[in-house]
Each structure stands twice: as structure tokens, then as C-alpha cells.
Amino acid sequence: MKTAPLPITMLFIPGTEKAKFAKIPQLPARAFILDLEDAVPPGEKAGSRTLVAGAIDEFGVGARLHVRVNPVDSPYLVDDLEAVVRPGLTGVNLPKATSAADIQVVDRLIEAFERRAGLPVGEIEMMATVETVKGVRQVFEIAAAAPRLKRLCFGAGDFSLDVGVDWPHEDGVTGETLLFAKSQLVLASRMAGLEPPHDSVYPRYDDLDALRREATESRRLGFLGKHAIHPSQLPVIDEVYRPSTRQVERARRLVAAFDEAEAHGKGAVGVDGELVDYPILYRARDIIAEAGA
């Protein structure tokens, strides 16, 4: 079975915006996050669940749909999960994850609603957003908390609020505290065998140059995707995180040369003035996989 490409682009759609759901088949995002949390005021929670459930029924077969539910300590979580765990849902995004226990609670709830819906246990994947100091402190435990968890996400807005720094900063430079926190997600994801983490949205949707800078920075840290809040952001995100044609062609040359060398009993070979051994080979294969090539 062919593995689905990693969801480099994930577009947020507020759970109240039924008209925007109808555009899902035409939008070039690799995945979508239908939001029941921050984008939905308390008085609209119940109605939004109904709208989101309808969107899953209508578009879930052809699109990768995730739902951002409310946090574990909210009064809305159970009702959120009961409404959206259904055929067509790809995954659940848990915001403000602060401990392994948070992940395990949601994992058990999803399992219960999978059984009720007649779905195979474990079919619905999960991603957890780390956006507090407490979450960063516990991120290695969070990453290893449940097999259902596929990736971590970083929430720059809430994390910046928690530590008392500006984001995005007026000079366009990401502060060292955020860089440190984001790097922890990369390491924890690798340690737990998860997909590389997904970066936060960039809130200034009309400043694509600043988006490109922030995306490039997080790509260098080891992130492999970024949330979007506007369709205009999608091409920039895809371009930054997807390996270029030149990178893919080079990776193919490295793999072909190494395979030939290995067939002759060698564990290293020179290609274009570079020594290629197993770590370089494995990275080349990762690049090819990331490109879906």
C-alpha cells in the first residue's frame, strides 16, 4: 500500500464557516483542520459541531480532514469527540497538550467513539499541539504517550503569551526562547518515532515574505510542515518545505551511486566531490520520500 505524502500544508477553517467547507475540494492544501476551539465562541460550540460533522460526511472521503477539538480541561471535549469521530475523519488535533496523561485521555475517548461508530480501533490519528512552557517541559513524554499520535505541532501564539514575548516580532526575527521550544519538538518527535513536527500558523496572512522567512527558519530546525490560515499562504508553505527539483535529482544520483558501490562491497562512495556514506544515503532517501518522488 502506498504511504500518503506527509501533510506539508494544513489549512485551518473555523467550525462556524459552512460556506468555506464547500471550497475544500478546490483548495490545494494537503490536509485541513476544522476548528472547534479558538475560532468558535462558547455560544456557537454546539452548532459548529453539527456543521463540522456534516463537512466530514460530505468531504471526508476525498480530503484529509482533522478537527481541532477543545483542550482536555475544557467542558467541551467529550461532546466534540462524540460529534466528529465518524467515518471520513482523518484525525483529531488536541490543543494545549501539557502531559502524557492528556494524550492518553483523548486516546481512550477516541477509541470509545470509534467502537461506537463501528470504526477499527486506531483508525483515527491524532496530533498534539504544544503551546505552553509546561507542554515543552513534558514534550518527550507527550510524544511517546500513545501509538495513535502521529505528529506534534507548535502553537507560537499561546506559547509567546505564556512566556511574555512578542510574536511575530516587528523586526521579523524569531526570539531564542521560541527557537529553543521549537527545537525540543523536533528532538522529541525523532525520539518517539513520530513524523517531523508541524509549525504554527503565521498570523499576518498578507505578508508572504515574512511567512517565507519563518517557514524557512522552521524547516532548518527540522519541521516538515506549517499550518495556514489563508489559501494564499499555501503555495509559499509548500515551496519551502517540499524538496526542490534540484534536491531530488541530487538525492537520486546519490542513491544510485551508493547502490552501485554497495553492490561491489563498498560502504561509501564519492559523488560530485562529496563522500557519501550511510547517513548521507538515508537522508537522500528521506528527501525522495518527502517529495513523493
Whole-number pLDDT of residue 53: 98
DSSP structure class, residue 119: P
Counting as low any pLDDT under 70, the low residues of the chain are: 1-5, 292-293
Whole-number pLDDT of residue 268: 79
Residues of the chain with CATH 3.20.20.60: 9-242
Whole-number pLDDT of residue 292: 64
What CA dihedral angle connects 61, 62, 64 and 67, to 10 degrees? -60
Three-class SS of 74-88: CCCHHHHHHHHCCCC
Whole-number pLDDT of residue 2: 37
Whole-number pLDDT of residue 288: 78
Contacts of 50 (CB under 8 A, 6+ apart): 83
Superfamily of domain 9-242: Phosphoenolpyruvate-binding domains (3.20.20.60)
Per-residue pLDDT reduced to its tens digit, 112-126: 999 999 999 999 999
Whole-number pLDDT of residue 1: 29
Of the candidates 241, 239, 170, 243, which has an alpha carbon nearest to the alpha carbon of residue 207? 170
pTM of the model: 0.86
